[in-house]
A = this chain, B = another copy of it.
Amino acid sequence: MRTMEFRFSPIGIIHSPFKKVEDIDVGKFANPGGFDDVEGEIEIFREFETGLEDLEGFSHLFAICVFHKSEGYELRTKPFLDDRLRGVFSTRSPHRPNALGLTVLKILERKGRVVRVSGVDMIDGTPILDIKPYTTRDNKSSIRLGWLEGRMRRWRAEERS
């Protein structure tokens, strides 16, 4: 099983105001709504356009992307919001065994094969592998945040001081 290999080709790309990784203000990650005002466009390749039908009825979507600029990984990583090493699967670091990204985006509008979204935290040109509607099952209200609990608050406080 561990030697199995699955191959995926992009269904589209994202157009983002962040042209490179360094453009992303990491402080935004310290705030649950930090990226709410960052708009972008998902452009789906022409051959998949039909698959977008009915999507605009949903308020949010999941975008599964490839961290295509990410090279290599460590199993322990220091999240930018923390000062300790953490297991990579307890972080959203782009440097992971499979460089897959996941973001919930708000759907603003769909025009043909272009979906205008907000909540964008990926860089321009990021390849998109899949889009799924966000549903009630994905909305978990009583959540615990592990090491992240308090770190977001503390990070914001340190920023201000």
Chain B residue at smallest Cβ distance from A152:
B136
Chain B residue at smallest Cβ distance from A11:
B97
Contact A92 B132 (CB under 8 A): yes
Contact A75 B50 (CB under 8 A): yes
Interface residues on A, range: 35 or more
- One of B1, B9, B59, B75 near A98 (C-beta < 8 A): B9
**Best-surrounded residue of A35, A50, A51, A130 (most CB of chain B within 10 A):** A51
A88-B51, A98-B130 given; A142·B7 CB < 8 A: no
Q: Does A55 contact B (CB under 8 A)?
A: yes
- One of B75, B130, B138, B142 near A97 (C-beta < 8 A): B130
Q: Quote the shortest CB–CB distance from A35 to chain B (angstroms).
A: 8
A3-B9, A10-B4, A53-B76 given; A145·B90 CB < 8 A: no
**Best-surrounded residue of A2, A32, A68 (most CB of chain B within 10 A):** A2
A positions within 8 Å CB-CB of B? 1-11, 13, 32, 34-35, 44-45, 47-48, 50-62, 64, 66, 68, 75-76, 86-92, 96-98, 100, 102, 104, 106, 127, 129-149, 152
22 A-B pairs within 8 Å (CB atoms) are namely: A1-B13, A1-B127, A7-B7, A51-B89, A52-B89, A52-B90, A55-B90, A57-B145, A57-B147, A57-B149, A58-B148, A59-B143, A64-B64, A91-B133, A96-B130, A98-B129, A102-B130, A102-B132, A104-B138, A133-B145, A136-B152, A141-B141
